Chains A and B, each alone.
Chain A
Amino acid sequence: MDIFVQLIYSGIALGMIYAVVAFGYQLTFSTSATLNFGQGEALMLGSMVGLTLSNLGINYWLIIPLVCVFGFLQGTVVEYLGVRPAIKIKSEFGWIMSTIALGIIFRNFAENIWGRSTFRFPGPFEDDPIKLFGANILPMEILVVLGAVSMMLLVEIFNRKSIYGKAVVATANDRDAAGLMGINTGLVITFSYALSSLTASFAGVLISPLTLAGSGAGGALGLKAFAVAIVGGLSSGLGIVVGGIILGVSETLTGFYVSTGYKDVPSLIILLIVLSFKPAGLFGKTTIKKV
Chain B
Amino acid sequence: MLIIKDLESGYGKVNVLKKINIEVPKNKVVTLIGANGAGKTTTLRTITGMIKLTSGHITLNGKSIDNFPSYKVACLGLAHSPEGRRVFPSLTVFDNLQLGAFPRLTGSRPRGDFKGDIDRAMELFPKLKERRNQLAGTLSGGEQQMLAMARAIMLNPDIILLDEPSMGLAPILVEEVFKIIARLKAAGTTMLLVEQFAVGALNIADYAYVLENGRISMHGPASKLKNDPAIKAAYLGGH
Contacts and interface: CB of A to CB of B under 8 A. Distances in A.
Contacts of A174: 86-89
A145 interface: no
B155 A177 contact: no
B72 to A, nearest CB: 8
- Interface of chain A: mostly helix, strand, loop or mixed: helix
Contact of A166 (B48, B87, B99): B99
B75 A180 contact: no
Interface residues of B, number: 29
Contacts of A184: 69, 71
Given A163-B105, A170-B91, A183 B71 contact: yes
Interface string A213-234: 0000000000000000000000
Interface in A174-227: 174, 176-186
Nearest to A235: B90
A173 interface: yes
A238 B74 CA distance: 36
User: Which one of B70, B79, B89, B151 has the highest number of Cβ atoms from chain A below 10 Å of its Cβ?
Assistant: B70
A167 interface: yes
Nearest to B151: A181
B103 interface: yes
Given A181-B151, A182-B74, A186-B69, A176 B95 contact: no
A274 interface: no
Nearest to A30: B90
Interface string B69-100: 11100110001101000111111000100111
A178 B100 CA distance: 9
A100 interface: no
Nearest to A288: B137
Given A163-B98, A163-B106, A170-B99, A176 B70 contact: yes
Given A169-B90, A176-B82, A177-B86, A182 B69 contact: no
27 contacts: A163-B98, A163-B99, A163-B102, A166-B95, A166-B98, A173-B89, A174-B86, A176-B82, A177-B87, A178-B99, A179-B49, A179-B50, A179-B69, A179-B74, A180-B70, A180-B74, A180-B80, A180-B86, A181-B100, A181-B103, A181-B151, A182-B74, A182-B109, A183-B71, A184-B69, A185-B70, A185-B71
